[in-house]
Amino acid sequence: MACEKKAVERKGGDKAKAQRIAQIPEDARARSAGIAGDGIEEPIPNLIQTPSEKVYKGTNNTWLVFGRDRPRSRLSGYGGKGDTQAASIDIVAGRMGSEAASFIEEVGIDEHPAGHFHSRIVRPNLNRMWVDPDMVKDAARIYISQKTDIDDNLGLVDGRVGNSKTKSGIAIKADGIRIIAREGIKLVTRTDRKNSQGCDIQEALGIDLIATNNDEDLQPLVKGDNLAEALQKIATHVDKLNGIVDSLLMYQISFNEALTHHTHFGPGKIISPIGPGFYWETTPSMPVVSRGIKTMSDHLSQTKRSLMIHKVNLGTFKFLYLNPAGGKYINSRYNNTT
């Protein structure tokens, strides 16, 4: 659902200036409506500035601050701790976002001239709105720092990449961010052997794509070429297994055929009398014996051997494609998504 917000909001602005604008002629007032790039009167908060900061302020709540690492109050960040090598550049459009105001209207107590009762009144323009940088409320920001805790500043989950502390960082935050290239975009990690603090980079980290700032179900991204090759291998193994089973079936059919139509020739050997008749042992059926021996031989030399080879091939497949140590592991070892 779209957020309903006024196109023009002057609540919290300079009321004295607004009254002066209201008294000027209409044609001159139109030139202060912001149309076609004309100036406009709107509420703009005041930044609490530190002595080390150089601030460039635009006329429409735009800011460029050169200073030291300071994500919030003057005591925050490595600039607030007094660290050296913590330079920062803070670019902000829309400080305090929808809550921007130049002044805070204060509700006070005023005594009636007759002294009989007290009344509550609103004193406009009594207090200017002074604010610190606010990574949550400020509308759009690009924050660059030589030394900072970039994830903690923005309240980001660790993911697989982890929490960056006491290192250089760049944060881009707004309601919508688009990165557009006419030719190509590269997201590249670990290009150098040392980080900005001069420390050796011990671990190769990748890229986490995390929706809703929730990394509970973070999983490796699939590598398309390896996955396609793995599926082809699976299809080949299934096809080979089909052939093994088909050969087994043909061997068994041959034996079953001989067994179904076998007959005996020659005298029988009486075993024991039971009831009115006799049971006896006959001579072996030579065709069945011959086919049986061949079937057993085929099962051992062909079917069993093929099944053993097939099992080895499946084990190799599982290690190669489904194990992180395999040379063609289907998942990325570094890059993840939710």
pLDDT tens by residue, 56-96: 999 899 999 999 999 999 999 999 999 999 999 999 999 99
Question: Above 60 in pLDDT, residue 34?
Answer: no
* Cβ atoms within 10 Å of 139's Cβ, excluding its own: 16
Cβ proximity of 222 and 266 under 8 Å: no
Sign of CA dihedral 131, 133, 137, 141: positive
> What's the pLDDT at 159?
93
Residues 260-316: tens digit of each pLDDT: 666 665 555 555 555 555 555 666 677 777 777 777 777 667 777 787 888 888 888
Q: Which residues of 231-264 are buried (b: 16+ CB within 10 A; e: fewer)?
A: eebeeeeeeeeeebeeebeebeeebeebeeeeee
Question: Above 60 in pLDDT, residue 36?
Answer: no
Question: Above 60 in pLDDT, residue 38?
Answer: yes
Cβ proximity of 333 and 206 under 8 Å: yes
- Among 27-31, 209-213, 281-285, 325-329, the least confident range: 27-31
Residues 165-208: tens digit of each pLDDT: 999 999 999 999 999 999 999 989 888 888 888 888 888 888 89
Give the separation between CA 237 and CA 299, rounded to whole angstroms.
20
Residues 203-244: tens digit of each pLDDT: 888 889 999 999 998 988 888 888 888 888 887 888 888 777
Any idea where the domains of the chain sit in the sequence? 15-206, 224-337
Of the chain, the end-to-end C-alpha distance in Å amounts to 24
Residue 294: closest CA among 258, 265, 263: 258
* Cβ atoms within 10 Å of 104's Cβ, excluding its own: 14
Residue 88: closest CA among 100, 76, 98: 76
Beta-bridge partners for 108: 121
**The one-letter amino acid at 124:** P
Residues 89-126: tens digit of each pLDDT: 999 999 999 888 888 765 554 444 444 444 344 445 45
Residues 134-143: tens digit of each pLDDT: 999 999 999 9
Question: Above 50 in pLDDT, residue 256?
Answer: yes
> What's the pLDDT at 149?
97
